[in-house]
Amino acid sequence: MPSTPDLKLALRRQLRQRRRDIDATSRLRAAERIAAILEELPGLGEARHIATYIAADAEIDPDIANRSLHKLGKDIYLPVIRPGNQLEFARWQLNDALVPNKLGIPEPPPAAERRAAQALDLVLLPLVGWSPGGTRLGMGGGFYDRSLGNAPGLTKVGLAFEVQRMESLPQEQWDVRMDFVVTETALHDCRDGGP
């Protein structure tokens, strides 16, 4: 039987390819639908400080959702890589310039207001795979796991395509579970746990 890291690596390859196989029109329709479904998220009305991300590698593009959140008066933050491969979150306005980080991912410049994960209300997470129990398979760097593990009150919401769903995924003790996953078809409540 393969080890958990080997199994995760194989699943990442498979699920990233599923994501890449989705055509541009379907990808845009999914992003529009996810933005609409996200408005039904429990607690969204009370959430003020919301972290999101800039899509890469055929991830769900949260741009439409980000614009909707901005119109609702939410303060939007993007992840910034810090020493020790930790994330903090920098305030971002929709038209603010971004600069590439060490991985080539755009992030706000150093002068942007920063918040730790514990000071956020909600975070939208990119992912490679997910299970109905809230297990998230990311890209493998552990950035979100290290950074969100000490923020127990933070609502964690994965954005994904249905084709990224697995009935169960391998999970290690440091992996952070999601509270919800929003796909192009539904809002999945993962708070009851499960596989």
Annotated binding site for substrate: 54, 59
Name the residue with tokens 């972290």.
51
**From the annotation, which residues make up the binding site for ATP?**
8-12, 136-144
- The tokens describing 48, both together, are 């003020």
Q: What is the Cα–Cα distance from 76 to 36, expressed in whole angstroms?
A: 18
Three-state SS annotation for 83-135 = HHHEEEEEECCCCCCCEECCCCCEECCCCCCEECHHHCCEEEECCCEECCCCC
Q: What is the Cα–Cα distance from 43 to 192, expressed in whole angstroms?
A: 17
**From the annotation, which residues make up the binding site?**
8-12, 54, 59, 136-144
Phi, psi (rounded to 5 degrees) for 154: -75, 130
